[in-house]
Structure formats: structure tokens, C-alpha cells
Amino acid sequence: MKFDFTEEQIMVRDTARDFAVRELDPIAAKLDEECTYPADKIEMLAEMGFLGVAIPEENGGGGMDYVSYVLAMEEISRACAGTGVIMSVNNSLVCHPLFKFGTDEQKVEFLEPLAAGEKLGCFGLTEPGAGSDVSSMKTTAVLDGDEWVLNGEKNFITNAPNAQIAIIFANTDKGAGNRGITAFVVPMDMKGVSCGPKEDKMGIRASHSSSIFMEDVRIPASNRLGDLNKGFKVAMITLDAGRIGIASQALGIGRAALEEAIEFAKERQAFGGPISRLQAIQFKLADMAMRLDAARLLTLNAAYLKDVGKPYSKESAMCKVYAAEASTYISHQALQIHGGYGYTKEYGVERHYRDSRITEIYEGTSEIQRIVIAASLLR
Ligand code: CAA
């Protein structure tokens, strides 16, 4: 891995940083409090090419690389982790599989508007009875003439209430387990598609999640994404890329918590001076900074491997679990440093504490990442 960034990568990072400071910092706490989807900010991110960062320009994207995507995601999530995940899902769980597995026609019809941010996407894999255990999904797709007919329910789908396009996984060969799943592109305005109420979540409240119900939804046969019965691999390959995005989100949350803890420690007076001079606080800050830097190196390494076309499945799982756990650790310690003040909404650390928690759960729990890493070591 190269340790210095290109001029273009630095420009992307600085653009994202300026945007985050100017547009997100002033409203992030309110978005969280009121559970508001930041539609105008998403439009601005789209104009900057941030909804399809690593998708080529000819396919509607920003034409940048995955390292740039990591840098941008960290900056956006540092200010507002909810906005970060809206961006991450569209980039890596929707645009990425459409770019990798889509036909030329699908790229024109679906990828271009998604990567340009004219439309928003969501990723329908999880079901009430199939979270970590993907192959237990119950949603079905049956071919009827030149249409697929989909029936089933997806839940906890990030962006669903705001999305125009969903990538949906369904059983096309019941009983074949992970070898009987196929991916489809489903416009959310198709007859028979509906969303449940928005989930009232603990954190990342600017991003909206809900169930998706499908009742005899008829989509053209040409909306199949990738090969028949190869959807499990489409999902796994997509999640390999997605987990780098979530690791970057975790970096942003961790950095916000660390920066606020440093500022507070320098100001808060106790035992005759600022608490930053106490080793109890210094040791915490040192551990927080070490874990954040280690997480960033793992994340950039996974992105770099992806950019140069090398395998990165294990590295993506490693950066996801490490950055997520670093982020929950850092926000926990930041709250501790703030003491009682940290437990109030007057300070940002309680939001970072809540936001960090999801990074250990979605796009594969920390336990699932360890399974992926161990499987790779033992192969
Ligand atoms: N790339 C390519 N192929 C892969 C792969 C990868 N990363 N991982 C597995 N495969 C292939 C295997 O090679 C195998 O192929 P063959 O059948 O040809 O041999 C096949 O897929 C099955 O592999 P496994 O036996 O390893 O699969 P498994 O059933 O044991 O499951 C698992 C593995 C790691 C548990 C997997 O099910 C998993 O990742 N689960 C977690 C799901 C998840 O992350 N869900 C998140 C939902 S999305 C979300 O959260 C979005 C959001 O809101 C933000």
C-alpha cells in the first residue's frame, strides 16, 4: 500500500471535509433529534459526484477510486453518520453491483441515474428470519413468461423509504440454499411494492430504514441482475465492497468522538487544572488515537487492494470489524471523559456513542466478519 495520497484523493477529501463542516456540522444534531432525511444535502452530495464516487464518469459516477471513497466517507460521517450511511448504501451496495454485474442496458437504465444521484437506491437482502443466515430467505421470484413475479418481505432496509430503486434477492430454486438465490433490480414504484413504517432507531437517525413488502410484483425478465441462482455470490461480492464503506463510516464516528474528547479534556477543570494533564485521561486518549489510526490503515489497505484489482474479501472483513469496534470503544471512552456532561444532549458524544453501535451490526455483524476472516485463513 502506498502511504501518500494523490492530488485527486486529497482534493476529494478536502471537498468532503469542507462540505461536512459547512453543511452538516450545523444541523447534524437536529437531523438526529428530529429523525429528518437530509434531502437537500443528498442533492448537494450528488452534484459533487459523491453518490457514485468510484463509478466511471461514463456510467454517471464521479470517476474516482475506492481510496477516495473511503476519505470522503470518513469526512461526511465525522459530521453526520446518518448522511454517511445514505451515501454508503447507494455507492457500494447499489451502484457497485450494478456496475459489476449489470448488463449494458441495466447500466444505462439504472446505474446512471443512481450514480449521478438523480435516484437513490437500497439493498434488500435481510429478512425477518434471515439476517446473518442469508440462505434462509423466504422471498421468492418465479418466472412467468417474460416477467419475474416476486413475493416476500425484506426488513431493516436502509434508504428504503427514500429509494426509487432496490436490489432485491429472492429464491429462484427453493431448497437449493445459497445456490438457489438470484438478484433483481426492482423499481420501488412497481405495483405490489410497499414500505413499512420507518424504524425508530437508536442512532444514524438521519437515514431512514423500513421493511419492503412485495406482493405479486411483476418485473421484466431483463431486470435479473447477474446469473440465475448466483445471487448469493452477488450479495457476498457486494458486501465485500460495502464493508469498506461501513469501516469508513466508523472511522468518521470515532474521529468525531476523539476530537470532542480532546477538546473537552483541555477545557474541563478538576483537581486544580484541566483534566488533560491527568494520566488517567491521557492513557484513554492515547488508546483511542492508536485504535483509530490502526483502523484507518486497515481500511485504506482494503480500498487500495480493491483499486489495484487484488483480492480484498478478508481485508474488507478485517477493516469492518476493527473500525467498528474501534469506533464503539472510542465513543465509549469519549463519553467517559465527558462524565455526566457526556450523558446529556448538550454534547455530541452521546450521538456518536449511539451512532457507532450499528457499525458492529449491519453489513455483517462483528461475529460474521470473524467467520469470514477465519474461513480465509483456514482455506
Ligand atoms: N466472494 C465471492 N464468493 C463468495 C464470497 C465472497 N466474498 N463469500 C462466499 N462466497 C461463495 C463461496 O465461495 C461459496 O461458493 P461455492 O458454493 O461455489 O463453493 C458460496 O459463496 C457459499 O459460501 P459459504 O459456504 O462461505 O457461505 P455460508 O452460507 O457459510 O455464509 C456468511 C457465509 C459469511 C455467514 C454469509 O452468509 C454472510 O456474510 N452473512 C452476513 C450477511 C450480511 O452481511 N448481511 C448484511 C445485510 S445488508 C445491510 O446490512 C445493509 C444495510 O442496511 C446498510
Tell whether 370 is covered by a domain.
yes
CB of residue 361 inside a 6 A radius of ligand 1? no
- 244 and 150 inside one domain: no
Domain with 155, as residue range(s), is: 121-232
Q: At what angle do helices 81-88 and 231-267 cross, to 10 degrees?
A: 160
Residue 29 identity (one-letter amino acid): A
Whether the CB of 232 sits within 6 Å of ligand 1: yes
Taking CA atoms only, the protein residue closest to ligand 1 atom 11 is 233
Indicate whether residue 134 lines ligand 1 (CB < 6 A). yes
pLDDT tens digits along 103-148: 999 999 999 999 999 999 999 999 999 999 999 999 999 999 999 9
Cα→Cα distances 91→140, 156, 215, 291, 317, Å: 26, 18, 28, 26, 18
C-alpha of residue 232 to centroid of ligand 1, in Å = 7
- The pLDDT value given to residue 356: 98
pLDDT (average), residues 16-35: 98
Q: What is the CATH number of the domain that holds 165?
A: 2.40.110.10
**Does ligand 1 lie within 6 Å of residue 181's CB atom?**
no
Say if residue 240 is in the same domain as residue 342: yes
**Pocket lining: 132 vs ligand 1, CB cutoff 6 Å:** yes
Q: Which residue, by CA, sits nearest to atom 8 of ligand 1?
A: 236
Decide: 125 in ligand 1 pocket, CB within 6 A: yes
Res 333: pLDDT: 98
Which of these three, 232, 249, 278, is where a domain ends? 232
162 secondary structure, DSSP code: G
| 1: in domain | no
CA distance 358 to 201: 10
Q: How far is CA 70 from the centre of its chain?
A: 11
Q: Are 302 and 312 in contact (CB under 8 A)?
A: yes
> Does 204 sit in the ligand 1 pocket, CB within 6 Å?
no
Which of 115, 145, 160 terminates a domain? The answer is 115
Among 169, 209, 232, 379, which is best to mutate for testing ligand 1, by the most ligand atoms less than 8 A from CB?
232
**Ligand 1 atom nearest to 131, measured from its CA:** 45
Residue 2 pLDDT > 80: no
Q: Amino acid letter at 36?
A: T
Domain count, the chain: 3
The CATH number of whichever domain residue 273 belongs to comes to 1.20.140.10
At 75 the pLDDT is 98
The catalytic site residues sit at: 363
**Does any ligand 1 atom lie closer than 6 A to the CB of residue 199?**
no
Average pLDDT (309-314) is 98
d(C-alpha 188, C-alpha 162), whole Å: 9
Average model confidence (pLDDT) across the chain: 97
> In this model, does residue 238 exceed pLDDT 90?
yes
Query: What local confidence, expressed as pLDDT, does residue 3 receive?
Result: 80
For the residues 294-307, what does the mean pLDDT come to? 98
What pLDDT is stored for residue 367 in this prediction? 98
The H or E element that residue 112 is part of is helix 112-115
SS3 annotation, 258-272:
HHHHHHHHHHCEECC
Chain segment 75-110, per-residue pLDDT in tens: 999 999 999 999 999 999 999 999 999 999 999 999
Q: Are residues 300 and 356 in the same domain?
A: yes
Tell me, yes or no, whether 174 and 305 share the same domain: no
Residue closest by Cα to atom 51 of ligand 1: 363
Q: Determine contact, residues 128/155, Cβ cutoff 8 Å.
A: yes
Q: Are residues 149 and 82 in the same domain?
A: no
C-alpha 284 to ligand 1 mean position (Å): 36
Ligand 1 midpoint to CA 236 (Å): 4
Ligand 1 centroid from CA 245, angstroms: 17
Q: Which three cell numbers stand for residue 213?
A: 413488502
- Categorize the per-residue pLDDT at 1 as very low, low, confident or very high, splitting at 50, 70 and 90: confident
Q: How far is CA 233 from CA 9, 73, 107, 152, 348, in A?
A: 30, 25, 20, 20, 39
| One domain for residues 136 and 220 | yes
**Contact criterion met (CB below 8 Å) for 67 and 83:** no
User: Above pLDDT 90, what percent of the chain?
Assistant: 99
- 198 Cβ closer than 6 Å to some ligand 1 atom: no
Q: Whose CA is closest to atom 9 on ligand 1?
A: 236
- Which residues touch 269 (CB under 8 Å, ≥6 apart)? 275
Same domain, 265 and 365: yes
Q: Are residues 212 and 257 in the same domain?
A: no
| Distance from the alpha carbon of residue 289 to the mean position of ligand 1, in angstroms | 32
Q: What percent of the chain has pLDDT over 70?
A: 100
Name the residue with the closest Cα to ligand 1, atom 53: 158
Q: Whose CA is nearest to atom 46 of ligand 1?
A: 363
Cell of 25: 456540522
Q: What is the pLDDT of residues 172-208, one digit of tens each?
A: 998 899 999 999 999 999 999 999 999 999 999 999 9
Once rounded to an integer, what is the mean pLDDT over residues 259-287?
98
Residues linked to residue 154 through DSSP beta bridges, in sequence order: 212
Testing ligand 1's pocket by substitution, the residue of 155, 233, 361 carrying the most ligand atoms inside 8 A of its CB is 233
pLDDT digits (tens, 9 = 90+) for 154-166: 999 999 999 999 9
C-beta 372 within 6 A of ligand 1: yes
How far is Cα 195 from Cα 130, in angstroms, rounded to an integer?
A: 18
Q: Tell the residue nearest (CA) to atom 14 of ligand 1.
A: 233
- Sequence-distant (6+) residues with CB within 8 A of 339 are 268
97/191 same-domain check: no
Q: Does 220 share its domain with 265?
A: no
Say yes or no: CB of residue 50 within 6 Å of ligand 1: no
